[in-house]
Amino acid sequence: MAEGWYRTTVALGRVLFGALGLRLHVEGAEHLPRTGPVVLAANHIGFLDFMTIAAAGRERDRFVRFLTRHDVWDAPVAGRAMTGMRHVPVDREAPAAAYLHARRLLREDEAVTLFPEAGISYSLTIRSLMPGAVRLAQETGVPLVPLVQWGTQRIWSVGQRPSARRGRRVDLRFGPPMHVPPEADPRAVTAELGLTLTAMLEELQRRPHHVPAPAEQAPWYPAHFGGHAPDRAAAAALDEVPRSAVPPVWGPGH
């Protein structure tokens, strides 16, 4: 069956979401085209981010392909599933192969998702960004769609134990597409992307249903909004950020 691995994984995700009572709210889905190539640039806050984005993609009849850590392929069953779903392994020591693989998928009219932060942000802000998403969109001429979500960090994220508490809400929002001209400076456009993702993310974070109760201990909420996640200075010692990343000119302190 075509896309059998993907359909099975999405079905298992629905079972997990049902067991957790997870409420996924998707906004701006019209910015994800139903057909044709597109690059999605998403923030990364939790280990379930892939599953929620994949579920949102299925609402638009898309099988979204992800660039993700190459060591996921080390587990035999997981590796077969990732290959079957046409996801792309990324080796930070040799990232060119992943770039070429993603470019080939775009030329086959696929929707390709990158996490430009290259890891989960300990501060739960938009940290330094890799320029690969912008470069892909620029070289191929396809739209670059910013994507943020908020809520998965309360289920399972870095530095936290998984939570089986039911009824969590996840807000996921696609933004209007960005078009990267051939003559543009990819690092400058990546900075623009960082500003866009930050504005979108902070709007979600400020929504009343996501704000911690007074005096609540909230390691799942950013420090600059009164939460207890590591602030950017503390997170700098925890985050593993590639040297080629574009440092933030966005978010707290800017």
- The answer to whether residues 57 and 162 touch, using CB atoms and an 8 Å cutoff, is no
Q: What is the pLDDT of residue 127?
A: 97
122: three-class secondary structure by DSSP: coil
Distance of CA 42 to the CA centre of its chain: 3
Residues of the chain with pLDDT under 50: 1
Instruction: Name the strands in the sheet holding 169-174, side by side, starting at the edge strand that comes first in the sequence.
Output: 23-27, 169-174, 144-150, 38-42, 111-114, 65-69, 88-90
Q: What is the pLDDT of residue 254?
A: 87
Q: What is the pLDDT of residue 213?
A: 96
Radius of gyration of the chain (CA): 17
Domains of the chain and any CATH numbers: 4-211+218-236 (3.40.1130.10)
Q: What is the pLDDT of residue 126?
A: 98
Q: What is the pLDDT of residue 153?
A: 98
Residue range 201-221, pLDDT digits in tens: 999 999 999 999 999 999 999
| Strand 144-150 relative to strand 169-174, pairing | antiparallel
Neighbours of 114 (CB within 10 A): 29
Q: What is the pLDDT of residue 160?
A: 87
Q: What is the pLDDT of residue 156?
A: 95
Neighbours of 123 (CB within 10 A): 22
